[in-house]
Amino acid sequence: MIRDWLIEKVLPRSLWVYHTNCGACNGCDIEVLDVLTPYYDAERFGIRVVGSPRHADALLVSGPMTRQTAPAVRRVYEAVPDPKIVFAIGSCATGGGIWHDTYNVLGGADQVLPVDFYVPGCPPRPEAILHGVATALGLTPKEVHALHAIQEVGEVEIEELAEEQRLVHEQE
């Protein structure tokens, strides 16, 4: 009961975040810092970056899951107390990015942690990160969906072909 109250009433207004980099190029890390500047201002939503995972409510993971940092990131995930939300920031954390099949990369962040929300981008704009956090907290609707498209094709003109063939036979 207290857990539900925390998730519904308290977390959307005050989310303490711990940011961890599991092998990123630091592009996504810089964009996360950008979100905290006054221009994009995540702090007006109560989001604050803390120095220890044990103080955090949410975990921001950036970078592909490398073989070397996987055990450390798993320990960080287990150090964050329940209830927690895990965000995978950037294309590398979402699906491995361009490094998905290299020798030291296991894949995206969801190879080792259960990820709740993905924010693709390379790097994702600070607005995209804000949108991701707002969607996770239920403040905005989700906007992406699977795309299916089938090409339109003209009809097969069988009747014309038959007429042409008939003309050829007549001449012969």
Partner 1 sequence: MTIASKLKEALLCMKAGRVTLPYPFKPHDPEEGFRGLPKVDVNKCIGCGGCANVCPARLIRVIDKDQFTRVLVFLYERCTFCGRCAEVCPEGAIEMTREFELSTDDVHDDMIGEYHIFMGPCERCGRCYRPPTALDKLMKPGMRDDPIDRKCPTLWPGGDASDAQAGEDEE
Instruction: Please report how close the Cβ of residue 22 comes to partner 1 at its closest, in angstroms.
Output: 16
Task: Give Dmax over CA atoms of the chain in angstroms.
Answer: 92
Name the residue nearer to partner 1 (CB basis): 51 or 103: 103
CA–CA distance, 165 with 168 (Å, rounded to integer): 5
Binding stretches for partner 1 (CB under 8 A): 38-41, 44, 91, 94-98, 100-101, 108, 116-122, 124-125, 127-128, 130-132, 134-136, 139-140, 142-158, 161, 164, 167-168, 170-171
- Eight-class DSSP state of 97: G
CA–CA distance, 29 with 37 (Å, rounded to integer): 13
Name the residue nearer to partner 1 (CB basis): 2 or 149: 149
Name the residue nearer to partner 1 (CB basis): 30 or 72: 30
**Whats the size of the chain, residue-wise?**
172
Phi and psi, residue 85, nearest 5°: -125, 135
Instruction: Please report how close the Cβ of residue 149 comes to partner 1 at its closest, in angstroms.
Output: 5
Instruction: Please report how close the Cβ of residue 32 comes to partner 1 at its closest, in angstroms.
Output: 14
Strands 105-107 and 65-66: antiparallel
Instruction: Please report how close the Cβ of residue 39 comes to partner 1 at its closest, in angstroms.
Output: 6
CA–CA distance, 160 with 172 (Å, rounded to integer): 19
Name the residue nearer to partner 1 (CB basis): 4 or 101: 101
CA–CA distance, 120 with 113 (Å, rounded to integer): 17
Instruction: Please report how close the Cβ of residue 88 comes to partner 1 at its closest, in angstroms.
Output: 8
